[in-house]
Chain A
C-alpha cells in the first residue's frame, strides 16, 4: 500500500517537473489528436456515406441496354443482399393538347435501396424526403415537365390506356448522378402500373441498384464481366465513379494523416524518453543503494509510467471530447445532419493502440533500466549506445501499429519506405559529414574544427537528434505539400461541377436579360457556349439509316438534332483525344471534332465526311480530331465542334448553353426571368451541386484541421528535442566557458552545431518528401507528382531557420546562467 502511494507521489512529482510535463503533454496531445481524429472521421464517414447513398442510391449499379434474362436476374439476386430493378425509357407524354418528350423511370417497390427521394406538392413547394418511389397508379413528374404539360398534383394523366394520378413533383432521386448533367425531363412510375401496356423497350435501359458487401461486390463484378459484357458497372467505393474515386482519396488522406501523427508522436516521445531514462536510472540506482531489489524497482518504474499514462488518458479524453464537440458543432453549421457519434468502441481501440504504441516505444528504455546499476553512483559508467535498438524497435512497432490502425497496407508501406530511405540518408550524411569534418579539422585550430570534434564525440546523441528533427521535418513537409495539392485537386473537382443552374437553351436576345438578371441577384454566369441546332443526315454520302444499323444510344440521339458548337482553340475543359486540332486558315472551315465514344459507337474514322442539316441546308465537314472531357474548366462539353471560322458560313440562329451559380436568395427571383422569357430553358441542379459542395467543404476543413494538428505536434518535437538535449548542451557550454572560451565563441560554436543539425535533417526531410511524393501521389491520390521546387525549398528554409533560431535562443538562455551554475549540474 505504502509502495503504491509512493509510486503515485513520484508520478505526481514528476508531472510537476518540466521534463515530465513535456512528456505528459506530448502523450496527451498525441492521444487527444488521435481520439479526435477517430471520432470526427467516424462521424464524417457516416455523413459522407449517407451523402454518397444520396448520390448512387445503392452500393453498386449495373446498367445494361439489353434486358437481363430471368436466369441472370435470379443469379444477381442470389449474390446481392438486395436489388432494385429500374427501367429507363424515353416516351412522349400528352395531356390535352400539350405533349412533351420525357425520360420515364419505371421503378419497383425496393427503389431506392439507399438514400432518399425529394418530392413536393408543387414546383415551388417545400421539398420533403421520402424513402420509396411512387405507388401503383401514381406518376411523379419533374417540375419542368409538369409546367410544360400544365399539370398539377392531383390531376390525372393518360399513358396509353392507363390512367395515372399525378401524385407529386419529383425533385431529386438518389441515383440521379448516374445521368450526369442530363437535361431530359423526368417522370417516374411504379412498374406494376404499367402491366397492361407494352412500352417499346427496344431503346430502354435496365438499371439494377444493388446492395452488397465488399466480397459480394467483387463476386458480382466478376460475374457481370463474363455474363453481361455490354453492361456498365458503377460502384460507390473504389470504382470508376468520379465520386467514388474522390472518396477513396479522402479516406487515404485521412489514413495517411493518422499514420503521420503516429510517427510524429513516436519521434516526440523518443526525445522525451532519453531524459526519462536518465532520471529513472538514477532513481533506481539510489533505490538499490538502500537495498531495494531490481524487481521492485522495475515495478515502481512501470507503475509510475502507467500512472502517467492514465493521467494522460484522462486529460486526453476530456480534451478530445471538447474538441470533437466543437468541431462537429462548427461543421453542423454548414452541414445539417452531421451528428456527434460517440463511437466508444473506436475510442477505446484508439486508446488501446496508443497504449501499446507507448509501451513498445518505452520498451527499449525499460530494458535499459533493468541494467541500471548502483555502480553508476560510485563511478561513472558508460551509458551504452542503444540508439540502434531504439531506432529499430521504434520503427518496427510504430509500423505495425500504423498498419493496424490505417488498414491501408500499401499506403503505410509507402510511408515506411520513404521514412526508411530518409533515415538511411540522414544516418549516412551524419556520419559522413561529422567524420569527414573531424578528419579535416584534425590538427587545425579554430572553432569550426572544434565544433566537428565535439559533435564527433557525441555522434550517437547527435544522430538521434538529427533523425528526430529530420523525420519531423519530412512528415511536416509532406503533410503541407499533400494538403496543398489535395486542396488544388478538390478545387478542380468543384470546377467540374460549377454552377447550380444549367442553361440548356437560350436565344441570342435572351443573353442580355440573363446577364442583367444575374447582376441584380448576385448570381454569376459561369459559362455560356454558343451552338446551332444541327442534325447529322449522312456519313460519307450514305444516309444515316443506311450507314449504321447497329442500335446504340448514340445513334438514337443522333436521329434528333444535336448541338453543334464552334471554337478556335481547344476548350479549357477538353483535351485532344486523337487526330489533329484544326489548321487556323479560314478556308479550312469544313473541319469537325467529336468525342471518342461517338466515334466508337458510330464507327467513324478520321477523314470521314459528315453532312449536317442546319436550318434546312446541308453542310459538309471532315472529321479531323476527337476531344474528351477533362475536369477543371466547366461542365459543358459538346459532342461536335467546328472551327469558329465556320460560323459565318452557316445560316442559322445562334443558341446558347451554359451554367450559372445562384446564391440562395436568387432562387425565388428565378420566376421573374422565366416570366419575361418563357422559352428560356433552365434546369436547376441545386440538389446535386449542393451535396457536392458540402462534401468538398467538409473534406477541405478536415484536412486543414489535421494539418494544424500535425504542425502543433511538430512544434512539440522541436521543443522536446531542445529540452531533451539542453542538459548536454549546458554541460558542454559550462565546460567550455570554464576553460576560458568567450561567450560569443560559445554561441558561435552552438550555431555551427545547430546549423549542421538542421542542414542534415533538412536534407533528409527533402529526400523523404520527394520519395513519398513519387511513391504515393499517383497510386493513392490519383495525382501526378509535380513538385513545386521553389515552394519545397522555401518551406524548408523556414523550417531550418526556425530550428536554428529556437536552438540558438535556448543556448543563449543557458549561457546567461553563470559558469558556477553550469558546473553545479
Chain B
C-alpha cells in the first residue's frame, strides 16, 4: 500500500507576449504519503507552480507526473479526489458558518454523519463554541484552523498547502503549523507545504529549496 507522486524530469515555463519565463528545468522528485515536505525559495521562483503541478492541477511544459494511489497508477481526476488543499487566503465559504464549512466536504461525498464528524473536528481544533459563527466573525487564525480541518476531514491521501501561514502572525502561525503536522501524522497522509517561513519549513521531515530553476535539499 503505497501512495506516491513521481515528478520525472519536469520543466515549466510561461510564454508572455514579450518573453518566455523559465521556471525550472528537468526536475525530478518523488513525494510519498506519510511524509511531510516543505518547499521554500525566493518569491517568483515557481513554488506555487511546482505545487500545482505536483497536485495535478496543471500539466508541466515538459516531463511527466505520475500518481500512484493504493498501488495503482491513477489519473489526475482520481488524484484530485484524493487530495486536499490549504490556502494562504483561507477560502472558507463566506455564507456558511464554521460547522457548515467543515461538514461541506463530507456532505459532498454523501456522508450521512457529516455533522457529527464535523463537530468532533471542531472540538479537536478548539473552536466548539464558534460552530455557528460565520468566517467574517472569526479571526484569521481561527479561519485557517477551520480551513486546515476542512482539508483533513475527508481523509485525503495528500494535502497541498500554499503559504498556509502567510497571512498570520508568528503565534497564530505556530498553532496552525502544529495543527497541520499533528493531523498529517495522525491520518498518515502526505503533506506538501510551500512556505517562506523557516519555522514552518523546519517542522517538515524534508525541506526542498527551489531557486534559479533548481531543486535542492535544504539544510
Contact = CB atoms under 8 A, between A and B. Distances in A.
Contacts of A387: none
B162 A3 contact: no
Contacts of A14: 95
Contact of A290 (B51, B108, B162): B108
A17 interface: yes
Interface stretch (B20-28, B34-42, B78-86, B176-184): B78-86
B48 A291 contact: no
Contact of B52 (A291, A294, A375): A375
Contact of B110 (A2, A287, A373): A2
B209 interface: no
A290 B95 contact: no
Interface stretch (B1-9, B121-129, B150-158): B150-158
Nearest to B95: A13
Interface string B94-110: 01100000001101111
A291 B81 contact: yes
Interface in A192-247: none
Given A289-B85, A290-B105, A291-B82, A378 B110 contact: no
B57 A293 contact: no
Given A290-B154, A378-B51, A2 B111 contact: yes
B34 to A, nearest CB: 19
A361 to B, nearest CB: 24
Contact of B85 (A17, A300, A374): A374
A3 B109 CA distance: 8
B89 interface: yes
A526 interface: no
A294 B76 CA distance: 12
Contacts of B107: 2-3, 5-6
Contact of B114 (A2, A288, A379): A2
A293 B112 contact: no
Interface residues of B, number: 33
Nearest to A10: B95
Interface string A554-592: 000000000000000000000000000000000000000
A289 B114 contact: no
B151 A290 contact: yes
Contacts of B57: 373-375, 378
Contact of B48 (A2, A5, A374, A378): A378
A378 B52 contact: yes
Contact of B108 (A285, A292, A379): A292
B93 A283 contact: yes
A288 B83 CA distance: 9
A231 to B, nearest CB: 74
Contacts of B95: 13-14, 17
Contact of B87 (A288, A294, A378): A378
B91 interface: yes
A375 B51 CA distance: 10
A288 B154 CA distance: 12
A289 B109 CA distance: 13
A3 B93 contact: no
Nearest to B94: A282
Given A290-B84, A290-B108, A378 B162 contact: yes
Interface string A724-757: 0000000000000000000000000000000000
Nearest to B163: A378
A377 interface: yes
B219 interface: no
B199 interface: no
B52 A293 contact: no
A604 interface: no
A373 B112 CA distance: 27
A287 B108 contact: yes
A304 to B, nearest CB: 13
A606 B110 CA distance: 95
Interface residues of A, number: 27
Nearest to A5: B107
A377 B48 CA distance: 11
Nearest to B105: A290
B81 A286 contact: no
Nearest to A9: B100
A283 B77 CA distance: 18
Interface in A742-800: none
B156 A379 contact: no
Interface in B123-166: 150-151, 153-154, 156, 162
Contacts of B116: none
A288 B107 CA distance: 13
A288 to B, nearest CB: 7
B91 A289 contact: yes
B58 interface: yes
B85 A6 contact: no
A296 B108 contact: yes
A300 B108 CA distance: 10
Contacts of A379: 48
Interface in A353-384: 373-375, 377-379
A563 to B, nearest CB: 82
Nearest to B112: A2
A163 B52 CA distance: 107
A373 B162 CA distance: 16
A692 to B, nearest CB: 59
B110 A290 contact: no
Nearest to B156: A291
Contacts of A287: 104, 108
B81 A293 contact: yes
A823 to B, nearest CB: 14
A378 B54 CA distance: 13
A278 B95 CA distance: 15
B85 A375 contact: no
Contacts of A289: 84-85, 87, 91, 151
Given A2-B107, A374-B57, A291 B51 contact: no
Contacts of B153: 290
Interface string B46-67: 0010011000011000000000
Contacts of B80: 288, 291, 293, 374
A294 B108 CA distance: 12
Interface string A442-466: 0000000000000000000000000
B33 to A, nearest CB: 15
B108 to A, nearest CB: 5
B94 to A, nearest CB: 9
A290 B150 contact: yes
A291 B93 contact: no
B132 to A, nearest CB: 14
Nearest to A20: B95
B91 A290 contact: no
A818 to B, nearest CB: 16
For A283, A293, A374, which residue has the most chain B Cβ atoms within 10 angstroms?
A374
Contacts of A2: 107, 110-112, 114
Given A289-B151, A375-B52, A377-B85, 6 more contacts: A6-B107, A290-B150, A290-B154, A293-B80, A296-B108, A377-B87
25 contacts: A1-B110, A2-B111, A3-B107, A6-B107, A14-B95, A17-B95, A286-B91, A286-B93, A287-B104, A288-B80, A289-B85, A290-B104, A290-B151, A290-B153, A291-B81, A291-B84, A291-B109, A292-B81, A292-B105, A292-B109, A293-B77, A294-B77, A373-B57, A375-B57, A378-B52
5 closest residue pairs by CB, A with B:
A290-B105, A289-B85, A291-B81, A292-B108, A2-B107
Interface of B: 48, 51-52, 57-58, 77, 80-85, 87, 89, 91, 93, 95-96, 104-105, 107-112, 114, 150-151, 153-154, 156, 162
